[in-house]
Amino acid sequence: MQKFLQNTKETEQFGAELFQSLVPNSLIFLHGDLGAGKTTLVRGYLRAAGYSGTVKSPTYNLVEEYTIGGGKFYHFDLYRLTDPEELEWIGINDYFNHANVCFIEWPDKGKGFLPEPDVVITLTVKETGRLVEIR
């Protein structure tokens, strides 16, 4: 499925729509260049889930954890990962063993150490908006 998102508001709304359709224990890979709207999409998901705090890219922390209604949500950004084996050191598989929702930006950096995703989302900058593709 493809959809054109004209602005940040529509990108957040799309994230909110994902909240309605994803089930616990979902793994979502996010592809797209820097500034393509990956974190904006995650912010929309979190807002729909009831989170009102700051949502920032976990580029420097590798992962941001959110507790929403008793469930856990993890937002990974693997952009700065230099070796996929680093994921073993942080216990990456522990994040996937519960009813957690995990979004992973730059999943190619973790190739060989990440399980198959439930959903793959690609955001591409097009003119003044974003083209989102879901598989």
pTM: 0.92
Q: Residue 99 has what pLDDT?
A: 81
Separation of alpha carbons 130 and 135, rounded Å: 16
Range 56-90 burial, b when 16+ CB lie within 10 A, else e: ebbeeebebebeeeeeebbbbbbeebeebebbeee
Residue % of the chain over a pLDDT of 90 = 67
Q: Residue 68 has what pLDDT?
A: 86
25/123: higher pLDDT: 123
Separation of alpha carbons 89 and 34, rounded Å: 26
Computed over every residue of the chain, the mean pLDDT equals 91
Separation of alpha carbons 55 and 37, rounded Å: 13
- Topology of the domain covering 2-134: Rossmann fold (3.40.50)
- pLDDT tens track for 84-105: 999 988 888 888 877 889 999 9
pLDDT grade for 12, boundaries at 50, 70 and 90: very high
- pLDDT tens track for 14-30: 999 999 998 888 999 99
